[in-house]
Amino acid sequence: MTELSGRTNVDEVINREETVWGPFAEAVRQLVDACVTSAAEDDAVRDALGDVRSALSRIGETRHEKTFGLTYGPVGRRRQWGNPVIGLRNPIAPPLLPEFAHETRSVTSDFHCGPAYEGPPGLVHGGIVSLILDQMLGHAANAAPPRAMTGTLTVVYHRGTPLGDLRAEAWLEREQGLKKWARGRVIGPDGVTAEAEGVFITPRDARSRRADVTGR
Amino acid sequence: MTELSGRTNVDEVINREETVWGPFAEAVRQLVDACVTSAAEDDAVRDALGDVRSALSRIGETRHEKTFGLTYGPVGRRRQWGNPVIGLRNPIAPPLLPEFAHETRSVTSDFHCGPAYEGPPGLVHGGIVSLILDQMLGHAANAAPPRAMTGTLTVVYHRGTPLGDLRAEAWLEREQGLKKWARGRVIGPDGVTAEAEGVFITPRDARSRRADVTGR
Q: From the CB of residue B70, how many other CB atoms can be counted at a distance below 10 Å?
A: 17
Interchain CB distance below 8 Å, A69 and B125: no
Q: What residue spans of chain B are helical by DSSP H?
A: 2-37, 42-59, 68-71, 126-141
Sign of the four-CA dihedral A22, A84, A46, B76? negative
State the pLDDT at residue B212.
Answer: 44
Residues in A 134-153 with any Cβ partner in B closer than 8 A: 134-135, 138, 149-153
> pLDDT for B102-119, tens place per residue?
888 899 999 999 999 999
Considering only the C-alpha atoms of chain A, give the largest distance between any 2 of them, rounded to a whole number of Å: 61
Instruction: Flag whether the ipTM exceeds 0.95.
Output: no
The answer to whether residue A123 scores a pLDDT higher than 70 is yes
Most confident by average pLDDT, A100-109, B49-58, B103-112: B49-58
d(CA B113, CA B33): 10
DSSP secondary structure of B180-202:
EEEEEEEEETTEEEEEEEEEEE-
d(CA B98, CA B85): 10
Rounded mean pLDDT, B35-55: 97
> pLDDT for A41-95, tens place per residue?
999 999 999 999 999 999 999 999 999 888 887 777 788 999 999 999 999 999 9
Who contacts A128 (Cβ-Cβ below 8 Å, separation ≥6)? A113, A117, A119, B84, B131
State the pLDDT at residue B82.
Answer: 94
Rounded mean pLDDT, A113-130: 97
The gap from C-alpha A88 to its chain's centroid, in whole angstroms, comes to: 8
- Judge whether B200 is closer than 8 Å to chain A, CB to CB: no
Interchain CB distance below 8 Å, B157 and A134: no
For residue B137, which residues of chain A lie inside 8 Å, CB to CB? none
pTM, to two decimals:
0.92
Residue B9: helix, strand or coil by DSSP?
helix
For residue A54, which residues of chain B lie inside 8 Å, CB to CB? 48, 51
Interchain CB distance below 8 Å, B69 and A30: no
